[in-house]
Each structure stands twice: as structure tokens, then as C-alpha cells.
Amino acid sequence: MNLKKFTEDNREIIQLIYGITLIILIPLLIVYNTVFIIKKYNNSIDVTLQRQALVVGRTISTLVAGDLPWEDFVQAKLDLLMENNSEIQELAVLVPIEGNFKIVASSNINEVGEIKDSYYYKVAWEEVEDGGLATDSLRLAKSGQNTELEIEDLKDDRFWLVAMPMENTSGIKKALLTVKLSSEIVDELTGYNRNLSIYLLIGTVFIVMLFLLAAVRLWDYALLYNKIKEVDKTKDEFIFIASHELRAPVTGIKGHTSMMLDGSLGTINDRVKNSAKMIQSATERLNVLVEDLLNVSRIEQGRMKIDIKPANIDKIIKGAIEELKMQSDIKGMALNYKPFIDDFPLVNIDINRLEQVLVNIIGNAIKYTEEGSIDITVEVKKDKFLEIKIKDTGMGMSAKDRVRLFEKFYRVQNKKTKGIAGTGLGLWISKRLVELMDGSISVDSIEKVGTQFTIQFPIEKNLK
């Protein structure tokens, strides 16, 4: 089995498992955290309500206990308390009788005289030492130990039931006070907050799931990006190796063709000579392509050697013009060199690479100019930069073409450029070489008027 293929398949499986785990686990954790917080919040509210219920019960007990055992006075105070406190649903005073409790005063006058057999009341009377019991009706209903308390009443609307012994002035327990406090307002607020939290939870889970799905998709893109980088690296290495290997046969063809044309291999007739010239021309184009591919590969892989040192560019420009003079003379085109300075400042450049850039740009100007001239000027800008301008009177280009001009393999496509040979790599290479020398290059162009390239380098120091 191919180990690389096996690893890639496993990586995809692991990615799928990871994505599914995130999509399930993170929403569950958010749900658990929200439910936990809501539960803790409700418990805190219940503890607070329980304490408030006990406080209310103790307050009422203090007000009523002083009237024991006179039941009429107790009943009057209960009625008065019910009139002024809407939160109190029911008040009752009970006395122990034969193990049960008899209601002697109540806000519900019809209950007076009834006997109640309640485990809750007995616990409050016999076992409580801190002044009373307070519990909510739902918890009381679940306990199942309420003989005389109506279970259905307990389940309807939640309330707090307080039961606490009352002592007379001598400190003797004489009666049991029961208070039923409504929790409707608090429950409504708690329910509202709980519902709001649930809605927010649902929205959050939905957003998180969308994010996780996007994250998994981004992971796919990351893996795809890595694969593309690997393929791109392999491609660059292949181009470099292939281009490097092509140099030897191309050099051989050039050498033997030159020997045929200069007579080193003997006399040849005109037909063979013409064929040799065609081979030589094609070989030159192939050699340019090979060199361009090698340069692209070296630049992209960071293997381009740049030997930067202070230099006078005047000689470099003149050398490039001299190299291209024959080409411009064939088209009857003037190459005008006009430096606007007397003493050339030194700039940090690689002499050979700058000459390569100038030959490429001036050569393009010659190729794409049918008639007219090419002007090369040099001047100092702001005492900081040395600026080289190469301006032609050629066909120019549109704004759309100008934006993409320095892209790799891009060529201006129209009727006039159709027959002009080129790889679309020269300007990309030139731009990268200039930038590797800490310079900049830009282009301005107008269709049917001409094009101007501007190259700038920081000045090192003045030449004495």
C-alpha cells in the first residue's frame, strides 16, 4: 500500500471525526453550561425567597403572639394583615390537640375549627429550633407526607408555606402560625429570564454550529492549500530541473549552427545556410525561454543570487543601449539617451541584473513600437532617489492591461501584438529583480500614444 495515500486517507477520516466531534460536543457544553447556570440561579432565588418567607413569618408571629390565647384578637389582626399585604395568600393560627392541630383563627373564616393532621406541621412544632420552617409547595407536594394538605392545591400555583411555633409572654409554645406567601411575581420574572436564556441558547448553538461547519470547511481549504503548495513546489522543481537540463542541448545546437554559418564545418550552399539561420533564430528564442524559466524558478524558490554593491548606472545604461542598437537600427528607430545630471550618484545594485532589466524593458519598447523613437532619461528625485525613465512612442495599452502587466505569463492580446513573440515572463522577472535590489518599477501608458516605464533606486552617495 502507498504510505502517502494511506496517510492522506487517514487525515481525511481524522478531519471528519474531528469536525463531527466539534459539532456535537461544543453545543452540548454550551447547553449544559446554560442549564447549570439557570439551575443555580433558580436555587439562589429559592434560598432568598425562603429567607424572606421566614422573616415575614417571624414578623407576623411577633405581632400576633402577644394576643394569645385570646382568639378574637388574633383573628382581628389576621384580617388586618390580609387587607394590607397582597403577597399573603393565607394566614392561620393552630393549636395542638391530641397529636393534631386545630385551626383557631384563619384568613379563611370557614376553616376555623377544622382539625389538621399534617406531618409538616408536626415537624415545625416538635423539631424546629431555629424559629420555623419555610418550603415551596412543589417540594412539599413531592414529599407525599401531607395528610391534611390538599395535594392538588399544592401543585396548582407555587407558593411558600411557613410554619412556626408561637410562644406566649412566658416563653411557652401555645400555637402554630402558618403563612402562605405567593411567589407569582418572582416566578414570572424567573420564567421570563429562563425563557430568554433558552432563546439565547438556541441562537448561540445555531451560530456556533454554523461557525463549526465553516471551520471544518476552512480546514478543507487549508488542506487543499497545503496540497496546492506541494504541487506548486513540485512544479517549480520540475521546471528548474527541466530548464537546467535543456540548456546543454540548446547550447550544443547554437554552437554547431554558428560553426555551420561561419564555415568552420566547410562550405554550405545557400539553401542549407538559410535553414541554419532559421535554426539559429529558433534556438535563440528557445534559449530566452529556458533562461526565463530558470530565472522564475530561482526567484520563486529564493535561489536568485543578487550581488549588490554601489555602482554608477551610466555605464550600465550605455551598455544596454549598445547591445540593442542593432535591433533598433533594423526598425529605423532612434535610441535617445538623455541624462539630466552631470555627476551620477552611486546606487546599491547588482550590475548584471540591472542590465538584464534594462535590456528587457528597452527591448520590449523596440518590439512594440512600429515607428518613432525611444527616450531613456536619468534624473535625481528629492535628493533621495535615482530615477530611470524609458519612454516609447509605441502602441500603448489600456488601463486594464496596465494593471495586469507585471503578472506572470500575462501578455497584451490584440491584433497588433498577435505576431510579436514573447513568453509573458520578462516584465514579471524584471519587477522582481528590481524589488530584490530595493528599487521600484511602475508603468504609465496611453493607447496609440506610448508607454513609459519608471525605475527608482535609493541613492547611496555622490560620485566624486
pLDDT in tens, 349-375: 999 999 999 999 999 899 888 888 999
Q: Residue 417 sits in a domain of what CATH number?
A: 3.30.565.10
Q: Please report the sign of the dihedral spanned by the C-alpha atoms of residue 417, residue 421, residue 423, residue 427.
A: negative
Residue 129 lies in a domain: yes
Contact 91, 119 (CB under 8 A): no
Residues 371 and 338 in one domain: yes
Residues 11 and 80 in one domain: yes
Total structural domains in the chain? 3
Residue 210 lies in a domain: no
Residues 13 and 156 in one domain: yes
Residues 327 and 227 in one domain: no
Place of cell 412543589: 138
Residues 94 and 7 in one domain: yes
Distances 350 to 299, 300, 455 between C-alpha atoms, Å: 15, 18, 14
Q: Residue 237 sits in a domain of what CATH number?
A: 1.10.287.130
Read off the C-alpha cell for 352: 548584471
Last residue of a domain, one of 269, 300, 331: 300
The overall average pLDDT reported for the chain is: 78
Across 370-381, average pLDDT: 91
pLDDT in tens, 39-82: 776 677 667 766 776 777 777 777 766 666 667 777 877 777 77
Across 256-265, average pLDDT: 82
Residues 289 and 354 in one domain: no
Residues 293 and 409 in one domain: no
Q: Coil, strand or helix: which one is 165? A: strand
Rg over alpha carbons for the chain, rounded to the nearest Å, is: 49
How many Å apart are CA 368 and CA 327, to the nearest integer?
Answer: 12
Task: Supply the pLDDT for residue 67.
Answer: 62
Residues 34 and 170 in one domain: yes
* Percentage of the chain exceeding pLDDT 70: 78
- Polymer length of the chain: 464
Last residue of a domain, one of 300, 319, 343: 300
Residues 239 and 370 in one domain: no
Contact 311, 346 (CB under 8 A): yes
- H or E stretch including 79? helix 71-84
Residue 74 lies in a domain: yes
Q: Is 17 exposed, middle or buried (0-12, 13-18, 19+ CB in 10 A)?
A: exposed
Instruction: Assign 379 a pLDDT band (cuts: 50, 70, 90).
Output: very high
Residue 209 lies in a domain: no
Q: Is the pLDDT of residue 1 over 70?
A: no
**16 vs 111, residue with greater confidence:** 111
Residue 270 lies in a domain: yes
pLDDT in tens, 290-335: 788 788 888 887 888 889 999 999 999 999 999 999 888 888 888 9
Residues 250 and 347 in one domain: no
pLDDT in tens, 429-457: 999 999 999 999 999 999 889 999 999 99
Domain that holds residue 22: 3-182
Question: Which of 102-111, 190-199, 281-290 shows the lowest mean pLDDT across its residues?
Answer: 190-199
Those residues with Cβ within 8 angstroms of residue 38's Cβ, 6 or more apart along the chain or in another chain: 194, 197
C-alpha dihedral, 10 to 14 to 19 to 23, nearest 10°: 140
Task: Supply the pLDDT for residue 151.
Answer: 44
The CB-side HSE value for 34 (13 A sphere, CA atoms) comes to 19
